Chain A
Amino acid sequence: MREVRGRVPERGHRAGKDFPRNGHYLYVSTYSDRRLWERALEGQAAAFGELFERHATSVYNYLFRRCGNWATAQDLTSIVFLELWRKRTDISLERESALPLLLGVATNVLRNRRRTERRHRAALERMPVPSESWSPHEDVVERLAEEQRMQELLGILGRLPRREQDLVVLCVWMELTYEEAADALCLPVGTVASRLSRAKRRLRGLLDPAGQSAPGVLKT
């Protein structure tokens, strides 16, 4: 007997359980993201706080994988959530998960970084200073090595058009499905598929011109 694989995308019973998502586990409380979002819109700040707690790590890692700097990724994580809040009236969360939406906002934040930071200047000035218990120097050697490695990868990725870079990071490195990436970038799912396919072909040529091995950058 085998495990059945029929699926219902983004719907169903998720109450109070740890569900695997994209290779790592996130705690999923009894509220769906959509419900939390609705509650946040109704004025319950705690609901937005829970969304932050749920997705801060994914947003943080997405930002790092786009900018190659942990400290910048940390600062921009809050900006992404502030930006989401600022645009709340224009946003309809159709999926149960807010992650595609957040990564879409993060993509725009990175693209318009100066403008976005200027827009949130007053709020950012109120941002708390890290407490003494937080040391940015922890794992500093490891972090620097990661940043160097990421910069090298981004150097290769940067040879692709920006719109293809977005899809490689979202679908390959962050493991979003085509449908989720389509939602994140407001694209038809077919466009996601074709652009990503073209991006992979180009990357293959850049990383392995002789075509002798499958480049790991394309593997999940």
Chain B
Amino acid sequence: MNDHQPPEQRAFPDALLPRQKEYLMSEITRDRRTSSRRSRSLVLRVGAVGALAVIVLAVLSLSGVFGSNGPLTIDKALAAVTIADGEVLHIKITGVETDGSTFVQENWSYSEEPWKYRGMTESGGGRLQEVAMDGSGLHQVYDARTNSILEMQDETVAGLAEPKVAGESYEKMIRDLLTSGLAQEDGQEQVGGRDAVRIVERRPAQEGEGTENVYLVDAETGRPLEWRIMNEGENRTLHFDIYEKLPGTPENLGLLDLKVAYPGATVYTDPAAFEQALSKAPAE
């Protein structure tokens, strides 16, 4: 049985994919026809959304002509999202979605070996998820309802070159944006009372609406302040409440340890005991 690994993944058969896709689409169309009244309502909604998106894009396209390239600002912005060895990066973001819902994400990361990571996400429903891990295989999970921590050694974490957390590296996405060749300076505005430089990247779509990124950085330091993403009629704004590089002192490295962050929490090393504690908490 070799090394107890499952076989490599196979692609869904190419010859079947288009037909299966077409079949699913036809099933959906069939299903939708059975509810014509709802369909009419939805057509109106789609029309309204489309019209709104067109208006938004029209307003944005009239908001000004792109300025000249600003390599100095873009270089400064790039430098701001590049971290030196031995530094702890601390980011806190408040995101606002198209529908007005918000989320808050905060994380600390340390790239020196062994790497360390601590991150939390709070959605609009108040649901909090928090984990911490490091390159030695230490994995912690915090449960706010019971103020308890499960701490365990996990070899699947120890084997990773970097933390495995949901989503993509945000700094990498910023660097991709800044180095895409499409990003240009586009004037200044005030963000939270600070002078900010607008860096705009527009990507036309093959069909339909395109994507526009407005990335605002501190005019003096290049530090990220805000990122407005307009993707095919869907808008998202990320406010950088905190973006700081901290020296890798023992005190700052303690920020990456949930036991230090929650000194009053009960720490479990036995998963069964932790699960039993969770089962006594009120339902989410």
| Interface residues in A, total, Cβ within 8 A | 92
> Chain B residues near A130 (CB, 8 Å)?
15-16, 19
Taking a contact as CB atoms under 8 Å apart, the answer to whether B15 and A4 are in contact is: no
The answer to whether residues A82 and B20 also contact, given A12-B173, A13-B177 and a CB cut-off of 8 A, is no
Check A43–B42 contact: CB distance below 8 A: yes
Q: B27 contacts which of A41, A60, A126, A153 (Cβ < 8 Å)? A: A126
Query: Which residues 84-140 of A sit at the B interface, judged by CB distance below 8 A?
Result: 85, 94-96, 123, 126-128, 130-131, 133-134
A32 partner residues in chain B, CB cutoff 8 A: 231, 234
The reply to whether the CB of B223 lies closer than 8 angstroms to some CB of chain A is: no
Kindly report which residue of chain A lies nearest to residue B281, judged by CB atoms. A188
**A149 & B141 in contact (Cβ 8 Å cutoff):** no
Contact of A128 among B19, B28, B115, B155 (CB under 8 A): B19
**A182–B141 Cα gap in the complex (Å)?**
13
Would you call B179 an interface residue if the criterion is a C-beta within 8 Å of the partner chain's C-beta atoms? no
Residues of B within 8 A of A160 (CB): none
Binary interface profile of B, 139-158, with partner A (CB < 8 Å = 1, else 0)?
10101000010101011100
Give the contacts of A56-74 with B (CB-CB under 8 A): 56-58, 60-61, 64-65, 70, 74
Known: A13-B213, A35-B232, A134-B13. A8 touches B93 (CB 8 A): yes
**Is the Cβ of B165 less than 8 Å from the Cβ of A7?**
yes
A45 engages B28 (CB within 8 Å)? yes
A7-B139 contact, Cβ under 8 Å, with A15-B203, A45-B25, A150-B7: no
Look across to chain A and name the residue whose beta carbon is closest to the beta carbon of B43: A43
Is B190 part of the binding interface, using a Cβ–Cβ cutoff of 8 Å? Answer: no
Expressed in whole angstroms, the Cα–Cα distance for A219 and B158 within the complex equals 10
* Contact between B5 and A216, CB atoms less than 8 A apart: yes
**Closest Cβ of chain A: how far from B156's Cβ, in Å?**
5
Contacts of A189 in B (CB 8 A): 129, 131, 141
Which residue in A4, A24, A182 is a CB contact (below 8 Å) of B171? A4
Residues of B within 8 A of A10 (CB): 166-167
- What secondary structure prevails in chain A residues at the interface with B? helix
- Asked if B205 contacts A49 (CB within 8 A), the reply is no
Does B139 lie within 8 Å of A193, measured CB to CB?
Answer: yes
- Is A30 a contact partner of B20 (Cβ separation < 8 A)? no
Instruction: Specify which of A53, A56, A123, A198 is in contact with B272 (CB 8 Å cutoff).
Output: A198
| Contact count band on B | 35 or more
**Taking chain B's interface residues, is the majority helix, strand, or loop, or is none over half, making it mixed?**
mixed
Q: Given A11-B238, A218-B156, does the pair A5, B1 have CB atoms closer than 8 Å?
A: no
Check A40 against B6 for contact (C-beta < 8 Å): no
Interfacial residues of chain B within 160-196, with CB under 8 A of chain A in the complex: 160, 162-173, 176-177
Known: A16-B203, A61-B10. A8 touches B167 (CB 8 A): yes
Residues of B within 8 A of A12 (CB): 167-168, 170, 173, 229, 238
Decide: A2 and B20 in contact? CB cutoff 8 A: no
Point out residues on A near B: beta carbons under 8 Å. Answer: 1-17, 19, 24, 30-32, 35, 40-46, 48-49, 52-53, 56-58, 60-61, 64-65, 70, 74, 77-78, 81-82, 85, 94-96, 123, 126-128, 130-131, 133-134, 146, 149-150, 152-153, 156, 171-173, 175, 177-180, 182, 188-191, 193-195, 197-198, 200, 207, 214-220
Question: Given contacts A13-B177, A175-B164, could you give 17 more A-B pairs where the C-beta distance is less than 8 Å?
Answer: A8-B95, A9-B105, A10-B167, A30-B211, A30-B232, A35-B234, A42-B45, A77-B20, A128-B23, A134-B15, A177-B164, A177-B165, A179-B166, A190-B278, A193-B141, A194-B271, A200-B154
Q: List 22 A-B contacts (CB under 8 A).
A: A4-B81, A6-B89, A6-B169, A6-B171, A7-B170, A8-B93, A12-B168, A13-B213, A16-B203, A16-B211, A42-B45, A42-B49, A43-B46, A82-B27, A128-B23, A150-B7, A171-B156, A193-B271, A197-B154, A217-B5, A219-B159, A220-B160
